[in-house]
Structures are given as structure tokens and as C-alpha cells.
Structure 1
């Protein structure tokens, strides 16, 4: 099957190249940037993007508003123009036509988005639910972590276990964290060494370094983006650089013992033939929540692009981060009197007051603690438990538009991840005898080649082939001095995957009707794992390896735009998948046999697990009002989880009949349903005020009561969420930003009185305010002084199964722009 896919992909590329082998036509795109009175707008930033992502050129308008792009070969392009004081504007252009662009003072910014179709589109062309958070909004809100940037988007919920650097999950439309794909410039970022093979293990360390914008696609996207693109896709678009050399230096400090520094530089040379952007940031939190969770993070991000011609380019990108965080003891019920827990039903989460938590930490016996009606002890300090981690990813992308009909792209990316856990005997509850050591390393190499064929302006066809090699390594060492109790083992696992995909896009009825059809098939080839241990054999040693089940996906979306009423109707249906992680295929635990002194291996994985499968549908309407000053979107969604990989210890697995002798482990289990509605609005009622917000209703449940008997709701998912962001500019120097996120109650699973029980965790409201003053200090140089208050109402709240969130936190800083 894999050989057939490779042959088909190569044949398709050569055929399309031959079809488009006619001499490339070189044309120019010229025009003027004007205001609504017809006056020229100088120094406007103008970006030209090809329909197949192969071309992205930038320039700046002259004193009389003129701009030009020479010798472009494509059939159709999108132009995006922006200038201070105007709303960003986009339009479709073809080489040779007059391409004047009028910028409006008022109205919602019109942006070019990539993630919805894997190629540039204007907002009115997008047939899927998507939210774009641009660079300016990130700066106005002063967010330093990706999960905080996304917190105000519809359809997504954030679970953060205790502030900066703490373990963080994203849940899109009520689905598991592994159902959201994280991309950098359209290429997947995930950790091959984590249990589910997704990006969750590094979500707390994906900080704002040099983002150009963040695009959040809601709904299935596996046909374009492969594994994990199930409930949604988060695409971090790098800052492309270009234009005159500019930069910034930011220094910030405040509550939680926080210090943050960020330096950024961008520009272009030789008329933007060579463009670059580079940034580095350092975050240091010395105390954290209640002084227990210090964390550090140092990150870099950079992009270089060279245009050999206007139609041939080479882009390089690098992202890296080095991080440390002190870990805490998880919330627990251990020590709470049994009488505090009702024998049946859902248990209300009542958290031990802060003064009593401090007494526990000080060593006061449980019998002297004033428990009251407490049902959960929140997270506490673990003095010798820590995690250090790093990731590094690099990509090289070659783009070539051969002629108006054919273009192609070849991309290579490598993602390296590493995590080290060390935990000693200090702390509460069960702790190791001595400091242990766990090391996890993942490597993923991806090669993606695609051809774009546009035989007519209204039709574009894309075909591609993707190869992925992923490798997993772990080392476990309990560091016990007794040789008969020592466990020091290593595991190496790897697999290859081959995928072929296509997409056909139609723009009909004078571009009012947009249709998109796409499909993907991905096959897997397993490599036999190796285990380095003393006195044990692997349950997988004699397994006859064969190809696991192949993943197939299909996707159809459509939208119709009514220009007279400024209404867009859209619908999207498709299926999606998540490929089982290497640990889910071959993972296991190593344990010491005290009688023999040898190491025993207990298998958890199944090499032949089928991919998780999802079917989803959503439909919605986007309506524009008041000359595009207000946009309201409503989307209803339904996702059926057909099959999902789950860890089962309920007795379904029988060691006598299981081929690996397992009594517990990963199986293809039953799924569930998630459905709901998303309502969002964007408004720019005046030239200086922007507003946006959302409400999401989510109802998510499982087919089986896997975690708690008789309980079918999804843990950690709020039924109701509300977000709101307001930004007000007062003149040219003062800017005020307010944002709010509100969550209704959620449910958590904890062990209480000898069995797993469901707990009801109260909802919360978190509001932040940010103010800044910009002082000019010379030509094109400014100093921006700012202050920020997070959780301004100082609400004491908990997330997940009882993780205490930070109280009111103040920060302040200065940014020098040059």
C-alpha cells in the first residue's frame, strides 16, 4: 500500500509539472493605496500572497501611495494592505489589472487566513469556523503564553494546573487534549515521547516569541493536517519580517516574582528580496502560586526567506525553548474524614481553606486539622519534584510557481523534544526512597511535497505526499542503592508513516459559492522496539509485526456569500483521526521482582491499535452589519467519537487470552458525543474602540462509564463559557485593554473512600486589565510604559481536579520600539 501511495504521489507531481510546462508568464501587479477620500496613503505595508502559498512578497507604498510587484507568474493573488489608523484590507487581484486599494478608517480588519484550506483565502471565502488573533491584539493584551492567547477564542477551554509553567491542556469542543493539532506555519508540532503523542506536554512552554498571528480552526482538519486535527487546529504563523529594519526591547516584572524580557528584530534587504525576523524571550517566575512553583523559560524563534525570483523562494525557520518548573503534589482526598463524602451521587468540591493547607505543609497532624466540610485538599508543595524540558524544531521550505497553472512546495521539518523528571523523598503522601530519574526523548522528521494546479481561476487542485519518521526513547532509573531493587532501563521505539492527500477547491457564481473537497490516507510501518534491561524479555519480542490499520479521511465544506445583505452561510462535514502514539503501541512499565532481584516488564501497549476515529458536522452563519463595523457568527457543531484509544483496567483484558499477557493497557474503546453551539462577535464601533467576545455551550459525554461508575459526562469540560475583550485607544498615546473569561462548573474524578468518584468543581470568572502610554523619543522610536492586573477581582478559584490558580497579580514594564 505504501509503495502504491509513493508511486501515485510521484506520478501526480510529474504529470502536473508536464501539464504546466509551458513557459512562465511574467507580469506585474501595480496599484495605489488610497483613503476613502481618494488621497494617497504613504508607507502602507502591502503583502502579496499566491493562492498556493508559494509566493509571499512585501513592499511599502511610496509617498504618492504607489506600490508594485514585478515579474509574478501566478494566475491570481491576494493583496493585504494595512497602515496605522486604518482597518486592514484584502482583495483578489490578477497580474496586469489595476489594483488600487482603498483603506477604510472604520470597520473590522479583513485578513488573509491560511489554516482553513491550507492556502491563502480572504475571510469571505472561508467555509469553516475560524478565529484569527493578530499580533497587535497579542501585544495589546500583553500575553506571553499561547494558551493565554487562545483563552478568549470560542469553542476552546483551557485547563492550567497552577499558573505560569504548570501543566496545561487545551480542549476544543469538549474533546480530549490530543484532539487539537498544533502547527507552526502549517507543519505539525507534537511530542513523540508523550503518552498520546500530541503537543500537550509542551503546551505550558509555547510562549509568545515572534508570532505573526494565531489562527484557530474549529472542526475536523485531518484531511489537510493529518493526525490530531480532530476537534480543531491551532496554526502559529511566524512573523515574516520584511520592510525597513525595526525592532523592540521589552522588560517586565511583577507579582509571583515574575521577570520577562523580550528582544525582537526584523527587516529586509535588497528590496525585500531577503527578509528576516528574529526574537528571543526569557521568563523567570521565582515564586509562583503561593511561592511553590518557580519556573523558567528561554525561547527563540526566527525566520529567514530568500526570493531567488518573485516566483522561487527558500524559507528557513527555527523555534527552540529551554524550560524548568517545580512540580506540586496533585490535589487529593487522602486524610479527609470519610464522613465528609456522601455515599452516592456527585460530590461537591469543597477545598480546604488556605490557612489549613499551610498548617498541613507545616507538619500539623491530620487529626488537628479543621476539616469542616472539605472534600478536596488542593495542590501542595513538593520540595524536590521538578521537570526540565526543551524542544527544538527547524524547517526548510522551498516554493516555486512555475507558471500561471502549476506551482509546487517541498518542506522538511524536524522536531526534537526532551523531558527530564526528578522526584525525591521530600513532600507528602507516597514519595520515592531516593531521588529518581525519568528521561523522555522524541524525534519527528517530516517531509511534505505538494503540487498545486490551477487550470482556471475558479478551480484549484492540490495533491501531496507526506513521509514521517518518529522515534521514542525513555530511560527510567529509580537510583536505589540496593542492586536487587534497582531499576535502570531504556526503551527505543520508532515507526514510519506514509500519507497521500488531495484537495479540490471551487469558486463559483462570481466567487459567492465556495466548495472544498479533500481526502487523505495514511499508512504505518512499525519497527521492532528495543529494551535494555536486566533479566527481562519484552512481550513484543516475538510478535509478528505487520502494518496497523490505515487511516482514511474525507472532508467537504461549502459557503455561500450574499453580498447584498453581507451574509455568509457555511457548512462543513468530515471525519478525522488520531494515530496511536508509540507508547500506546509498545509502552510498558518496568518493576523490580524482590524475590529474584530481576526486572519484570509489564506491557501496556498494543502494536496494532487502529487510529482514533471521529465524525463531525458543523454549520453556521456570519452576518455583517453597519458597513462591516459589526460581525456576528453562530455555529452549531456535532462530533461523534466513533472509536478512541483508552487505558482500560476494568477487567476487559484477560492475561490468559490477550496476546501480550496484559491485565490492563491500551485498547480501541468506545467513544461518545460532543455537541453544542458557538456564538461570537467582532465590532469596531469607532475608529479607536474594538470589541470581541464569545459564548460557547458544550454538551460532551461518553458511551461508557470508564472512569466513574454511573457517570458519563466528560471531566474538565465546562458546559458554558463566555469571553469578552475590549480595546480602547485614547488619542495616539494611551491604550486600555480589558479581557474576561468565565467558565461554568466542571467535573473531576478523584479517588475517595476506596473508589473513584465524580466531584463537581465550581466555575469561575477571571478578568484582566492592561494600560499603556506611548512616548515618542525620536524619528520612528517610542517608549511604551505599561501596567497590567490579572485576576483583578482577586477571585480564589480552582481548575481541573483542584489546582489553585493565581490570585490578583500585578505586572509592569517598558518596551522600546526602534
Structure 2
């Protein structure tokens, strides 16, 4: 870390020198302007939001009768202003203190938005040099989505694999990469589960529900230099509602198919002329039946943000987010019991799923010999009556921002993420089941402290340097609850590690802001703490390991864009490398089993404490083009990702217990990688003032260097080669609104065990279309009642995701939302 300390010392020196030599820069200034329409007439009651580089100091105002607005006592140099008024497209502009600050609104055209994730700081759309998709709060409400993965499913470059409806295990796959290659952030701070196998957010993806989101940003491409581990193929940033203004709120109640009930309450506002702002929401989801009536789930969540501005340049923000969840688990798709003659001896096997009536017969106890198999090759998911998961997470963060003068600002943030999951499974159900009900308990904790200094010595250069400390801890307990003391397995594992990272970013705005250039880098080191194991009749394979620091992770990132104002064309390119730090389980994890001969507990180690981080190199480039007076925006992106090295679980015989330092016959190794490449095409359109359209097409070709899962097969499982999305929203008059959205996936491949070996299966693609309609009834000043209905999978397609998980059929819901 010596190089980073020298950089920090230089930063501090420049700050002190500048503060001492240029005291005039510490004086505060004002930003004043007017909001006008295209004819030059003033627009009153427009919402004007001012953001600083760190998005922590956020001021709001409302334009007066003459369209004027003002922000006083500002110490910074540049700000982003976001202006929104009823009947106009939203506009964002970067303004410099002292320059003219008039904003012109247009009735038509695609709305602008502030983008944070691409550079870790607020930017206008013109400034973004990377591929980013923004899904704003209004679209989320218009589509009436309640889960983060449902919100994201219409974005280009991402594919969602859901194992059987609400609450079921869910994966996000960005640009054909593994689920652990997508980082999940809340307001720029990582959310991940330290106790899961890959240390990512996948274990909780099904429970990340819409509570108090302001918008969702999706950065496609590497982002490790800014956001650290897991930011490989993409970064999903949930931006919380910030509150402010007069007190407003909403109460939403809905119910319908699958035995679904959902309630959501939200309240936001500001006090003391918005020096204190708040936003809070809570939601409860209860699905009593689920897919085919056997997968109930419940989820209760809260999310809130408080911010206090000591001055226009100093703020303190607190944020909380928590969820408590339950889901009944199912038996996964299988080939067990299907006649061997149904499987060809070579090649890829077409996935032909057992009809629903025969699945019900199997579950009722009809012997396999009496099932009408036909040409079936896969039995889809079935009920497991005593298999369930309870889980919860809690996140808390405190962020302090301070703009000292136009040159120097800094931010200090602390966050804690606590996760816990309990699995219980009993003897009921089909296939292999435990003798008695057993319990698996997993707990993870991550504390992160991040401190960064921002320098803007000139208008065209912004430099950021930061330090991050992270401590993560893993605990698990596995208990098979067998009554025989010689066969009882009750083991506990405690693991922890510390990580230190230094990073920097330099952003250049050149050629009258037409050229945007960003350079960033990051280094992260790890320090392992000795794990502890408690178990009966076994030894710890890691007890005598001489712990040393695992290999460090180094990343670098360069992006650039050039805007041609006359044609409204932006050309961009982005190249970088990224990493994923091995999870604590991958370093020290193991399995425990009962030796049938001795009756004692045996420990089988799987981990390697000195695994190197997964490494990726990636490039993407593209063009964004506006047409028809900004009514249509089209984006084209070509991407290429080389997986240099990836952590893999190997049981092929590569590991030899006689030579492996931990006595492993199978476990985690640094394996070979692969390649993922393709193209993303997206569009946003506003043909009329009442109609908005957006959609995308993505082609993905992803493969591995080794046939690690199925001999002779190199395609990535679960990745569709072609995806298409479409969202259309039409306002009819002032009160009625209709929304239609659709996703279409081409076929994918899955790995299943068939006739004594792993085989590749081809799973058919599918089309899922939803329609939503709502009618708004005014019930007083600033109050309204919205009555709505939604039909999901409106064509009632029977389709399967992953390796054969049945998705819900047609589902209808209805509800009311009271706004006040």
C-alpha cells in the first residue's frame, strides 16, 4: 500500500497548498437561473434538483411564477441540475457557478436522467462514456414490478433465471457470464452475502424487492476499478429515494393469482426548507400457493434514507434496508425414473418435459412404471413438502460529505451488511431425502469503510483517490439431527478475512466537453484470519496451514466518448480488466459426512486458502444516436469478455489426496476460463407526448476453454443466444394508462445426469408478455386513487427456465394505490 499512501500524502499536500494559497476559493457562491419553455415563457412549479459530484449534497427548489430558481451558499465549482415539470420531458444539465443557468424544457423528446454508476458520481447522459441503462421510478410503477430481477429483465445484456416463481432462487447473468460476475449496489455501496458459496448477492436475489427505489441503474461492462469485487460483467445500482419537498406518500394494496397479496406504504418529505429530508417505505408480499399451488413465500422489507444538510456544502446521510423472508423449496428437475430408451446415446438431448397431468400423478404416489412417459426426457420441479428456507438481511450505512472549496471535497462512508439463512429439510418428498429433519444455518457479516478525496483543480479535470477497508466473516452450522450419537453430525465453522484497497479515478472533459475520458485503477490485498471448526470425531485440514496473504487483485479501466453536437451522435469505447475475490467458503469451506463404518464424523475440505482472484479482460464499444428532435435514441454496443482465470469446483480427478496439501479429492481450484462476446441494440422513443417505447435485442455467444461439466460440450449453460425486450406505455387522456412489456429468450442449454453420466440438454426458448392498466381518480387537492389490474404471461405459455424449472402460467392481479 506504500504507493497509495504516497498518493494520499500528495493529495493532502495539494489540498493544503491550494487552501493556503487561494483562500478566495473557499468563498461561497450562488447558482441562479430560470426554467423556460421552448417559446421562452416561464415554467412555474418546476422541480429543480441540484447535485454535487458525490451526490451526497443534494439541494432542491421549485421555480417561481417567473420561472426563477436559486441556490445560495455553494462552495463547489460544477453541479448537475435536473429539472422536471408536468407535461414536459425531464432535462439534466451540468452547470458551472457563475455561468448562465437558464433551462429550457421541451414537451416531446426522450427524458434525460442523471447517471451515477458509470463514474461513481453524477453525470449527464452526454457525459457518460460507458454502456448504461436507467430504469426510473415511474417505469417501475407503470409496470407494477415488485422484485429487482423483474425490473431488470427488460434491460439489454442481462438474462434472468428464476427457479419457479415468486421467492424462488434467482440468478442474473450479464453478457453470458456467471451470476457472481454481476455486482449489486445500494447507493454505490456493495451488497453481497459473505456466507454464500461465491460471496455474491445471488442467495438473496429473489428477495431484493421494490421498497423505496428512486431508480435502478445498470452498468454493462467491467467496473472493478470503481466498485471492487464481482463488478465484472455488470453493476446494478439501486438508487434510493431521497425525499425532500412537502410531505407526500402512498398506500398500495393488491391481490390475485398464486394466492398473492402485496401491501406497500411510502412516506417522504423535508423539513426546515429541506435541510432535513427523509424517505421511508415498507412492503409485505405473501404468496400462499405459488407455482402449481405448492410454493408459498413471504417477504417483509423496509428501506429508508435520512439526510441532514448542516450547510449547502456539508451533509450527513443515513440509510437502512432490511428484509425477512420465507420460501418453500422444490425438488429440482431430474431425469431419474425416465426410461433409458428415451435418451439418445450421443449428442445434445432435446429437453421434453413430462406433461402436467403426469407430474401430478407422480406426486400422488403413482409408480414410475405406470406413468405415461411418451418421449419425455426431463421431469420438471416437484413439490418437497418439508423443505424450506428462512432468510433475512439488514444493511445500514452512514455517509458524510463535505465540499471544502471549488477544488477539494471528500466523503467518508461506513456500511454493515448482515445476512442469515436457515435451510430445513425432512424425509418427505421424492428422490434422495434425509432420514430426519436437518438444519443448515449460514451467517455472514461485512463491514466496509470507504474514504475518498475529490480534486477539481480545473473545470476539465476531476481526480478521485480513495481507500477502502473491508472485514467479512462467515459462520455456518450443519446438524443432521440423527438420534444415534455415533451418527450425529453437528459442526460449526467460523472464518474471517480483512481486505485493504486503494483506488483512483481521473476524469477529463475536453474539446468543449465533447470528449469525455476516464482513467481508473484499483489494488486490493487480503489478510486471512485462522478459521475455527467445532466437530466431533474429525480433524481440521487447515489447522496446520501456514497462513499468508493470498495474491492481490489489480485492475485498470479506460473509457472514452466523443459527442458530435451537429448530428447528436456519441461514439464510446470502454476497455478494462476486472476481478472477483474468492469467497471465504471457497478458501476454507468443506463438507461433513458420517462414516458408515466407524460411525464418526469425517471432514472433507473443499477450499484453498490461497486461491487467486478470478480475472477477466473486457472491451466494449458503441454508438448512441438521437433522431427526430430527440424523440428517438438508439444505442449499439459490441462487447467482448475474455475470462482469463476463474474459480471452479473440480471433481474430475485433477486433485489427488496424496499430493494435495489439504488432502482433497475434489474442491475449488483456479481453473481455466472462456470467452463471451456479442452485440446489444437498444432504443428509447417518445413518438408523442403520451407514448413512450423502449426495447432491446442482445446476441450472446459464450463458451468455456474446457469441457468441465459435460465431455465434448463447451457452451455456457443457461445463456440464451438471443433475447428481445419491449416496453410500451400509453397515456389515454389524463386518467387512464396502459403498459405492455415483453421478453423473449431463444433456447438455452442445461446439464443433467442421464444414464450414468452428465449430458447436455437443449431447453426451448419462451416468450413472456405482461399487460397493465390503471385509472386515476382525483379525490381532493394533491390526492388521488389509482385502480389497476395486471395480467402476467398473458398468452399463458407453459415454459421452463434454467435446467427445467416450471414458470407460472397466466396470473392476474388487481389493486388500488392511494396517493397523498
Give the TM interval when normalised to the shorter protein: over 0.9
Q: Which residue of 1 aligns with 2:176?
A: 174
- Listed one character per residue, the Cα deviations across residues 113-133 of structure 1 (whole Å, up to 9, x for unaligned) are 010011111101100000000
Q: CA deviation at 1:100?
A: 1.2
Aligned partners of 2:490 and 2:535 also within 8 Å: yes
**Structure 2 CA distance for aligned equivalents of residues 13 and 285 of structure 1:** 54
**Partner Cα separation in structure 1 for residue 648 and residue 27 of structure 2:** 55
What are the residue-to-residue correspondences of 1:544-555 with 2, within 5 Å? Answer: 544-555=546-557
In the alignment, is the contact (CA less than 8 A) between 1:604 and 1:665 conserved in 2?
yes
Q: Distance in 1 between matches of 2:4 and 2:422?
A: 38
Do the aligned residues in 2 keep the contact of 1:5 with 1:499 (CA within 8 Å)?
no
- TM-aligned CA deviation for residue 537 of structure 1: 1.5
**Could you tell me how far 1:37 is from its partner in structure 2?**
2.1
Partner of 2:138: 136
> Is the 8 Å Cα contact of residues 12 and 463 (structure 1) preserved in structure 2?
no
C-alpha distance 9-543 of structure 1, shift in aligned 2 (>3 A): farther
1:684: which partner in 2?
A: 686
Secondary structure of 1:137's counterpart equals: helix
Q: Distance in 1 between matches of 2:726 and 2:459?
A: 40
Query: How far off its partner does 1:7 sit?
Result: 3.3
Deviation (angstroms), 1:59: 1.6
Structure 1 residue matching 2:195: 3-state secondary structure? coil
> TM-score, normalised to structure 1's length?
0.99
The list of structure 1 runs, each at least 4 consecutive aligned residues, that deviate by more than 4 angstroms after superposition, is: none
Task: Please list the CA deviations of residues 547-588 of structure 1 after superposition, one character each: whole Å capped at 9, or x if unmatched.
Answer: 000000000000000000000000000000000000000000
Match of 1:197 among 196, 199, 202: 199
Q: Which of these residues, 387, 403, 406, is aligned with residue 404 of structure 1?
A: 406
Distance across 1 between alignment mates of 2:802 and 2:28: 57
* Deviation of the 1:238 alpha carbon: 0.3
Q: Is the 8 A contact 1:484 1:594 kept in 2?
A: no
CA displacement at 1:539 relative to structure 2: 0.7
Structure 2 CA distance for aligned equivalents of residues 803 and 512 of structure 1: 49
* TM-aligned CA deviation for residue 521 of structure 1: 0.2
Secondary structure of 2:468 counterpart: strand
Distance 1:509 1:54 in 2: 29
CA distance in 1, matches of 2:257, 2:593: 43
1:220 aligned residue: 222
Question: Displacement, 1:15?
Answer: 2.5
Q: Structure 2 matches for 1:26-425, cutoff 5 A?
A: 26-425=28-427
CA distance in 1, matches of 2:462, 2:7: 17
Where 2:546 maps in the other structure, the secondary structure is coil
Whether the 8 Å contact between 1:20 and 1:403 is mirrored in structure 2 is no
**Are positions 1:562 and 2:560 aligned together?**
no
Greater shift in the superposed pair: 6-15 or 477-486: 6-15
Equivalent residue number for residue 608 of structure 1: 610
Q: Which stretch of the first structure deviates more once superposed, 41-50 or 307-316?
A: 41-50
Alpha-carbon distance between aligned partners in 1 of 2:211 and 2:567, rounded to the nearest angstrom = 40
Q: Distance in 1 between matches of 2:629 and 2:496?
A: 55
What is the rounded CA distance, in whole Å, between the counterparts of 1:453 and 1:127 in structure 2? 20
Q: 1:476 to 1:9 in 2, by over 3 A?
A: farther
Query: SS at the partner of 1:112?
Result: coil
Number of the residue aligned with 1:430: 432
The residue matched to 2:639 in structure 1 has which SS?
strand
Q: Deviations over 1:179-211 (max 9, x none)?
A: 000000000000000000000000000000000
Output aligned runs, 1:637-656, within 5 Å: 637-656=639-658
CA distance in 1, matches of 2:674, 2:443: 32
| Counterparts of 1:39 and 1:299, CA distance in 2 | 45
- The alpha-carbon deviation at position 594 of structure 1 amounts to 3.2
- Of residues 530-539 and 621-630 in structure 1, the stretch that sits farther from structure 2 once superposed is 530-539
Contact 1:257 1:288 in 2 (8 A): yes
Match of 1:11 in 2: 9
Deviations 1:449-493, CA, capped at 9 Å, x for gaps:
000000000000000000000000000000000001100010000
**1:99 offset after TM fit, Å?**
1.0
- The offset of 1:34, in angstroms, is 1.5
Once the two structures are TM-superposed, the CA of residue 96 in structure 1 deviates from its matched residue by: 2.5
C-alpha distance in structure 1 between counterparts of 2:426 and 2:633, whole Å: 54
Q: CA deviation at 1:6?
A: 6.6
State how far apart, in whole Å, the 2-side matches of 1:695 and 1:720 are: 7
Aligned to 1:720: 722
- Looking at structure 2, the residues matched to 523 and 641 of structure 1 have their Cα atoms a distance apart, in angstroms, of 21
The answer as to whether partners of 1:42 and 1:63 remain within 8 angstroms in 2 is: yes
Distance (Å, rounded) in 2 between the aligned partners of 1:743 and 1:6: 46
**Match in the other structure for 2:597:** 595
- Distance in structure 2 (CA, Å) of the matches to 1:41 and 1:485: 77
Q: 2:453 aligned with 1:451, yes or no? A: yes
Structure 1 contact 528–545 (Cα < 8 Å) conserved: yes
1:310-334 deviation per Cα after TM superposition (whole angstroms, max 9, x unaligned): 0000000000000000000000000
Gaps of 5+ in 2: none
Corresponding residue of 1:805: 807
Contact 1:5 1:500 in 2 (8 A): no
2:588 equivalent to 1:586? yes
Aligned-partner SS, 1:148: helix
Shift of 1:12: 4.5
Q: CA deviation at 1:638?
A: 0.2
Which has the larger displacement, 57-66 or 172-181? 57-66
Q: Deviations over 1:83-124 (max 9, x none)?
A: 121111011212223311111110001111010011111101
- Using the TM superposition, give the Cα deviation of residue 593 of structure 1 relative to its aligned residue in structure 2, in angstroms: 2.3
Paired with 1:723 and 1:730, the residues of 2 have a C-alpha distance of 23
Match of 1:540 in 2: 542
1:143-186: per-residue Cα shift (whole Å, max 9, x none)?
00000000000000000011100000000000000000000000
- Determine if contact 1:733/1:775 at 8 Å carries over to the other structure: yes
Q: Give the distance between the partners of 2:100 and 2:118, measured in 1 at CA.
A: 29
RMSD: 0.9
Instruction: Report deviation, 1:38.
Output: 2.0
User: Distance in 1 between the 2:754 and 2:310 partners?
Assistant: 65
Would you say the 8 A contact 2:8–2:465 is kept in 1?
no
* 3-state SS of 1:328 partner: strand
The answer as to whether partners of 1:16 and 1:406 remain within 8 angstroms in 2 is no
